[in-house]
Structure 1
Amino acid sequence: MSVLLLNDDDVRGRLDARTAVRAVRDALTAAHDGTLQAPPRVRADLGDGHLVFTAGHLRAEELFGFRAYDTLVGAEQLVAVWGSDDGRLRAVVHGDELGARRTGAIGAVAVDAAARPGPIRLGLVGAGTHAWTQLWAICEVRQVTEATVAARRPERAEAFARRAAEELGVRVRAVHAVEDAVRDHDVVVVATNSSVPVLDADWIAAGTHVTTLGPKTVSRHEVPVALADRADVLLTDSLAQAAGYGEPHLFPADRMTALGAVLAGAAPGRTRADQITVFCSVGLAGTEVAVAAALWESAQRN
């Protein structure tokens, strides 16, 4: 059995949204029922930065592995997967594409679980890689009837809109004001690096689902603290990870519910159409392993 070695181009060519969404949905449910062992990330201090590891053991699939990335120089990431039945290395994925698409897939699962049923009007704040992979994956779970995107640099929003039309067949309108990408939308995705809020909580209409991907601690947060006060449901992909930051999380831990518990029917999500739901994406450990494993399994079939 040869080891599957993939780079970013391979991931773009081989990983479709359906496969990614299915893999992370299964992993989230497995984390709830205990068949995914996924401890919080571990940081090795390298002086000027950290080498960070997340690991996961998919017991039912007899696979385990890790993801490694740095805060030192922004090096390419590494994901490795082994079989727990024989200990043999199955796959190695290097680059940033797998991690970003896995995050997009987690966000899509959250939208499917927490947003109001049916087609959606989608607003995107940020026009970078993570905003793109959110759109890529959300299109797998919902019909996007209308989409808007706002970015700090308007030319990036315009380029994002052109790419969406060309690659996904989705009409996205670039807007200058963040408020225009937030008000009167069914789903809002905030994907920035901002350490201060980029929107006003009052812009979020009743019934909206919000996903936040960027900074989310008490000293650095892209969404306002008041958003938690307005939210009826607060979700995260990993309660352990949310509690594992170096400083307290922006949202109260006792109000957050694990997305996997909602998927498993063990906890309520949205119960009324007018509720505001917020998903705080922190990166459940083991989900990169699950997506890499899905790529390996696909390669074995083909």
Structure 2
Amino acid sequence: MHRQVSRLCWLITVITIFLGVSCGTSTPVEITRRVDESMIVSVSTGDPTSWPNQPISTLAPNPTMMPTLTVAFELLPTTGPNPTSMATSTAGSDSSSIEGELTNYEISYESTSTPIPNPTSTVASDSFVITESSIIEGWLTYQSAFYNYEISYPQDAKLRRYGVSGFPTEEQPENMTFEQYLTQLRQTYPEDICITISYKHGTVSIMAPPENGGKYGDCVGYGVGAYDLIEQTENIIVDGVDYLAEGFEIREQNEAATWHGEILSFRLNDGTLINLSGTIDNSASYDEYMNTREVLLQIIMSYHKN
């Protein structure tokens, strides 16, 4: 482990400043960031199956996912980068890089955390297109590349997109922190797991199927406060299929049971969840909402899977 120490004494003395390595000893160094791709590790001690001979960066596809690896080593450079750049790069500095390949590292090591595997999924395509609607004149059409659907809406409506907001705690892998797993999910799913289209006194929301990211998203919630809820159903045709939407009328808790709003929900055959919600306040009448409702239903019925 310590052959050629005399030849490397001057080099290790310089490295001591950055890594705490003293000449003739093997001091553990914690590497907590991605190492330059030109650094190759050749394992000569320990279990060779734990850390195979490959660029360290392939073991950590995202810098935030880098496991802590404690190593004690001798540096045997073959291409002559200067000692300062080697030391700072090995320590994970963002400001320096190793220009030449470094080989013949003799490493005794122990992993202080389980190596994190490469994610099997690829980074999600978050591309989308907004064009003039070919269905309703004067409207716009939103096209989702990832979920492969389109939906039309009035130009004066407001469309918002929502990506990954969290995940079930029991789903978190044992070898990943909360932040690491959340980052992986956000690399896997796009920013339109849910979209909402708000128009005047109502909103339509489209939520992806649970198994395709829907369980990680969160559309705007619907708090109804102190009201009476009366069950209601309605048939709505989407993409040529007749669906039964279920929900509630929202009525004031007064003698007249004044109508206040409604919520309707149904799932498409592929698991996509569609919601319609609307309320009225002192600035709008029931008749005005019913006009809005007709537009909301048109938005829903314009949904089309490509």
What TM-score comes out, normalization by structure 1 length?
A: 0.20
Q: Between Structure 1 and Structure 2, whose CA radius of gyration is higher? A: 2
Q: Higher strand share goes to which structure?
A: 2
Task: Report which structure shows greater RCO (CA 8 Å, sep ≥6).
Answer: 1
What TM-score comes out, normalization by structure 2 length?
A: 0.20
